[in-house]
Amino acid sequence: MRTATTVEGSAGDWKELTSFVVEAEQLGLDVCWVAEAWGTDAPSPLGYLAARTDRILLGSGVMQLGTRSPVTIAQTAMTLQQLSEGRFLLGLGASGPQVMEGLHGIPFDRPLARMRETVEIVRRVFTGEKLSYDGDRFTIPLPGGQGRPMRLSMRPVSVPIYLATLSPKMLELTGEVADGWLGTSFIPEAAATAYFAHLDAGLTRSGRTRADLDICQGAEVNIIGEDELSTVLGSRKMELAFSLGGMGTGSTNFYNDAYSRQGWADIAAHVRDRWQAGDRAGASALITDEMVLATTLIGTEDMVRARLAAWKSAGVDTVRLYPAGDSLHARLKNLGQAIDLINELER
């Protein structure tokens, strides 16, 4: 399995963030993804990190559909691929209605069609050909206008495209058109039906197999002593309650749906109801230890080693590690230990 991490610049401490990525590269990390969400953008830090690193792959994890035109996404990807000398990975995600409509004022409608057409247009731009596209969401050039098909004044590039998806139809699309899948809320014991059945359906439709898709899964990693476990799980429950209750709206929450498909439908529904009603503590109290441990890499070294083995057995190709810690040193220590455990599994 390859190793990866995700960083974001929302905290604003760019010196520490850069030090973390540079040190992570020296620890042997393979990939660094830069998040966007509702904080800083992804491309700006990626350009800076490309200049500060030498080997590590750098990816947008993720750029959000709708906030940029497909051609702007392609331009950004091609620029970052050149700046990084071929180390860039393009990660795309549909986000959700709260961010798209509540923050950007962009309708969150037909995300499946928008994703498919965006990938098709971006790939055409990468080839250097003149762009002419007639789809349901995008038509280029604009009909009835004065424009004619154009190509970018940049040399063609090849950039792997990863999709961050959770819903069944989006997972099928990922298997059909993407080079990699950026997953989350992943329980290896339930992944066959919750995720892989849908990914495999898309892969079959495109005449490919699982070997053609990089399965990249992410989770918090926190290697601790047994005496610390109860305290750490308690703090993590509030974060999971936010994912199930606050990451979306009362009717649309892809994280809640993912946990529901993996055996926790009743709890996930109650957590969302409590959170939406403003009862944050009540929502957090519903989260069980098992829910946290099943989807994270939290625990003693032996516990984390066992969970990593389960991920590997389930078919994960790249482990995206979110190292816990209240200091740069603590996060790097967690990351280094996790990398060592993964390397141990690969030997």
Q: Please write the tens of the pLDDT for every residue from 96-114.
A: 888 888 889 988 889 999 9
Distances in Å between the Cα of 181 and the Cα atoms of 90, 178, 276 are: 11, 7, 30
* Averaged pLDDT of the chain: 94
More confident residue, 24 or 12: 24
d(CA 333, CA 317): 23
Secondary structure letter of residue 211 according to DSSP: G
- Which residue, 125, 116, 31, is CA-closest to 65? 116
Q: How many CB atoms lie within 10 A of CB 266?
A: 10
Q: What is the pLDDT of residue 100?
A: 87
**Residue 135: pLDDT over 80:** yes
Q: What is the mean pLDDT of residues 79-108?
A: 92
**Residue 246: pLDDT over 70:** yes
Q: Please write the tens of the pLDDT for every residue from 290-312.
A: 989 999 999 999 999 999 999 99
Q: What is the pLDDT of residue 250?
A: 67
Structure tokens at 17: 């963030």
Q: Please write the tens of the pLDDT for every residue from 35-48.
A: 997 889 999 999 99
Q: What is the pLDDT of residue 163?
A: 98
**Residue 259: pLDDT over 90:** no
- Which residue, 245, 280, 278, is CA-closest to 260? 245
d(CA 322, CA 185): 13
Q: Please write the tens of the pLDDT for every residue from 54-70.
A: 999 999 999 999 899 99
**Residue 143: pLDDT over 90:** yes
3-class secondary structure, 187: coil
